[in-house]
Amino acid sequence: MANTTTLMALKAAEHQLAAAGQETSVATYLMQEGQGWSFTQLVQHYREPLSADQLVVYQQQVDRVCTGEPAQYVLGHAPFYGREFHVTPATLIPRPETEELVEWLLQLPATPQRVLDVGTGSGAIAVTLKAERPTWDVTATDISAEAVAVAKTNAQALGTAVTFAVGDLLAPVAGQRFDVIVSNPPYIDHNELAVMDDSVKRFEPATALFAANHGLAFYQRFAQSLGDYLAPHGQFFAEIGYQQGPAVRQLFATALPQATVTIKADINGHDRMVRVQL
């Protein structure tokens, strides 16, 4: 075992992952992240033997991924907008699509803004916004106390002063108004369960994935409440399902006829975001 090189361990892991029906590229991802190596450093270590302890840990990680567990949960962290965020099964794994939502928000004037992130999960959106715009006053809420605990850990680790509160949707900030409200709410229709990735269904929190009324329930709740929580000329941003653009637009236009509703596509050309401007 002591003479097993990095490359040998990688090849064995790729074979094991392939046999389990998992992506073989995860072998490299686990090795790099586990050792804190860049790809160049990984190549430089190809012919060097791994220690017994390194091999044991790596094998345990590969075994867990072979059962379907996401590699990000195995490692305990995931990348988002150039930073590493601690993640647990209490939080969704941050997705690249959500980085595009953050990018849209960062096009706002850099002047001080009162920002609320609803359903913060790991805190990826709130912490990133605070890190990128230190003058913004950022508050984040989640119905899950476990998720808020993870988000607090990320805020502290990344040196961002974000205010957190536990509670359902906007209830924790009753009586307050914000210039910007952002959310990546649950928006998957329960009818889509059969076509979803098995690892998502088994390991990621269902309460952060699924919503009633064909996935529109949270947008309906926001539409009824935004007028009481947004400041004059305030804006609401949210991620949406790629087939929900027309329905979400109609929903907000009906509830808030004075608002301007914009649907924005992601890098792949799919409807992915909504902005509601009062």
For residues 152, 273, 202, 86, the Cα torsion angle rounded to the nearest 10 degrees is -20
Under 8 Å CB-to-CB from 257, ≥6 apart: which residues? none
| 142 marked as binding residue | yes
| 257 marked as binding residue | no
| 225 marked as binding residue | no
**What CA–CA distance (Å, rounded) separates 215 from 186?**
7
Residue showing tokens 């900030």: 173
| 120 marked as binding residue | yes
Q: Which of 198, 175, 187, 174 is nearest to 239 (CA)?
A: 187
| 121 marked as binding residue | yes
| 3 marked as binding residue | no
Under 8 Å CB-to-CB from 19, ≥6 apart: which residues? none
Q: 82: left (phi > 0), else alpha (psi -120 to 50), else beta? A: left
DSSP 8-class letter at 207: G
| 123 marked as binding residue | yes
Q: State the binding site for substrate.
A: 184-187
Q: State the binding site for S-adenosyl-L-methionine.
A: 119-123, 142, 184
Q: State the binding site.
A: 119-123, 142, 184-187
